[in-house]
Amino acid sequence: MKLFSRLVVPLVLGGAILSALSLSYAAGKKSEGASTFMEKCSMCHGIDGKGYEAIHTPNFTDPKWQAAHSDKELMSAIKNGVKGTAMVSFEDKLSHEQMVDVLKYIRSLGSKAKK
């Protein structure tokens, strides 16, 4: 039984520590996306991500809008901009990782609307 305790206890503690670190990392990534969104996107898309009807920006909190747009489509819009709209390219303004973080943050806005 002592051998079992010596093996299992460290494994359980190690698993708990790794789990806590991964949750902390995920929360940090979300806040990085939120921070970048606030700095670069909120002036057109609103602090809450609901957009502005007057300038025809989308409501990221709308589940129907979220379902209608793939991650690939959203990443293309962030990276390349959208022709015929005010959406500019962020390819030379954000790193790929920052664009992914913003995309994840935009997706999180849609999940809040479902609650």
**Mind listing the pLDDT tens digit for each residue in 26-39?**
444 458 999 999 99
Domain that holds residue 47: 28-113
Answer whether residue 63 is part of any domain. Answer: yes
Whether residue 6 lies inside any domain: the answer is no
DSSP 90: -
Q: State the pTM of this model.
A: 0.71
Tell me the mean pLDDT in the region 9-17: 47
User: Does residue 15 sit within a domain?
Assistant: no
Q: How many CA atoms lie within 13 A of 50 on its CB side?
A: 4
Is 48 inside any structural domain?
yes
Residue labelled with tokens 């809008």: 65
